[in-house]
Amino acid sequence: MENDLDILVSRTDNGAVLELAGDIDSFSARQLQEAIRDLLASGEKRILVSLSRVAYIDSYGLGALVGGLRRARERHGDLSITDASAQVCRVLGVTGLNRIFDFPISDEEATEDMP
C-alpha cells in the first residue's frame, strides 16, 4: 500500500523539527516512529512535530506520538506538537492527549522556547 505521509526533518539550534504532511494511520505511523527514533538515537533531546498539514490521524498515529514522547522523556528530552489542524486537535482532545503534549502556538514560538 502506498504511504500517505511525507516527513521533512530540519534542525535548529534548539532541536529538531519534523514537518508532517498527509495522513498518520496504521500504514504510515511506523515511518513516524522511525523518524523520531532516529532523531533521538542521533542525540536530539528536543523534537517538535508540526501537524499543520496532517489531515487525519488514527490510534496508530497517536500511539507513535505517545511512544515518541515517552522515549524522548526517557532520554531527558521532550517531544512537542505544533500547528495541529482543528480536526487533529479534536482527536487529541477526545483522547485526552491534549493534556499530555505541549502545544506551542506556532513553529517559530516553539523553536524559540526550546532550551
How confident is the model over 66-95, as pLDDT tens digits?
999 999 999 999 999 998 888 888 888 889
CATH number of the domain within which 15 lies: 3.30.750.24
Domain that holds residue 81: 5-113
- Look at the chain and report how many structural domains it folds into: 1
Across 60-66, average pLDDT: 96
The whole-number pLDDT of residue 57 equals 93
Q: Rounded to an integer, what distance in angstroms lies between the CA atom of residue 26 and that of residue 50?
A: 19
Q: Rounded to an integer, what distance in angstroms lies between the CA atom of residue 72 and that of residue 76?
A: 6
- High-pLDDT (> 90) share of the chain, %: 63
pTM summary value: 0.84
